[in-house]
Structure 1
Amino acid sequence: MQTHKGSCHCKRVSFEFDGGVGAAIECNCSICRMKGAIWYGTDDAHFRILSGVDDLALYQFGTMTAKHYSCKSCGVSPFSRPRIAPAMWVVNLRCVDGIELSGLEIQLFDGHHWEAAAQKLLQARASGAV
């Protein structure tokens, strides 16, 4: 299993995760669209914050379910705990070393219409379509 490393811009916050990155998600909700993030999902067993825990700021809005983390120093958002699966992590692949986004299958998530998009995604996963 491949280990990927990443960080925020100033490198105070660094992290790693295990797994093969073949697909990612681009969300058009109000915050993800402004961040320009491309997300890859992983779990606690495969994700580790290596440095900078005390340098992280937490931002929550709306339902207060998702946890959006950013570096207090440079402002970059390297990872979050998403509303659709708050026990999971999503890593901003733009913060990961050596990831070529043009080579990935990027699935669109209509976060602008979050409720309907979440229901559709969860149904697709339950049926094995995703």
Structure 2
Amino acid sequence: MTIHQGSCHCGRIRFEVDGTIDSGLSCNCSICQRKGSLLWFVPRAALRLQTPESDTARYTFNKHVIQHVFCPTCGIHPYGEGKGPNGDPMAAINIRCIEGIDLAAVPVHHFDGRSK
């Protein structure tokens, strides 16, 4: 299993995440379209913050089931937290925030979140 390093733009939020990035999800819901995230879903236990959680800010909307985590300094959204379809805690990692990744090599799946 690979350990990936990631951060927001200014580095205030840093993290490690375990797993193989086999695809990314591009969603067209109102928030994802605006922030331009490319998401990779992992069990929440695979994500380890390297900086204090108090350095993050959170935003929820609509059904308030996903916590969109962002940096209050630079505004970048490195990940979100919620529950997977089976009810287990999950994290949606913005792979654009992972160091050294070749985004062109990641297959992208499109999700119509606008219609949900």
TM over 0.5: yes
Number of aligned positions between the proteins: 114
Shift in Å, 1:44: 2.4
Q: Distance in 2 between matches of 1:91 and 1:44?
A: 10
Gaps of 5+ in 1: 115-130
Letter in 2 for 1:106: V
Residue of structure 2 equivalent to 1:93? 95
**Structure 2: unaligned runs, 5 residues or longer:** none
Task: Check conservation: 2:7, 2:78, Cα contact below 8 A.
Answer: yes
- TM-score normalised by structure 1 residue count: 0.82
Runs of 4+ in 1 over 2 A off after TM superposition: 82-86
| Matched AA of 1:24 | G
Contact 1:43 1:88 in 2 (8 A): yes
What amino acid is aligned across from residue 48 of structure 2 in structure 1?
A: R
Using the size of structure 2 for normalisation, the TM-score is 0.92
Name the residue aligned to 1:36.
Answer: 36
Residue matched to 2:104: 102
Q: Distance in 1 between matches of 2:84 and 2:111?
A: 11
In structure 2, the residue matched to 1:121 is none
More displaced 10-residue stretch of structure 1: 71-80 or 50-59: 50-59
In structure 1, how many angstroms separate the alpha carbons of the residues matched to 2:32 and 2:48?
22
Q: C-alpha separation between the residues in 1 aligned to 2:82 and 2:101?
A: 21
Per the TM alignment, residue 83 of structure 1 is displaced from its structure 2 partner at its CA by: 6.6
Q: C-alpha distance in 1, partners of 2:25/2:12?
A: 25
Cα shift at 1:101: 1.1
Q: Percent identity?
A: 36
Tell me which amino acid in the other structure corresponds to 2:79: F
Letter in 2 for 1:108: H
Q: Does 1:47 align with 2:20?
A: no
d(CA) in 2 for partners of 1:52, 1:73: 14
Structure showing greater Rg:
1
Of structures 1 and 2, the one scoring higher in RCO (CA 8 A, sep 6+) is 2
Q: Please give the per-residue CA displacement for 1:42-101, whole angstroms capped at 9, x wherever unaligned.
A: 112211111141111110111111100101111110000247657200100110001111
- Once the two structures are superposed, the pairs formed by residues 7-22 of structure 1 within 5 Å of their partners are 7-22=7-22
Q: Is the 8 A contact 1:55 1:73 kept in 2?
A: no
| Greater share of residues in helix | 1
- Rounded to whole Å, the distance in 2 between the matches of 1:106 and 1:22 is 9
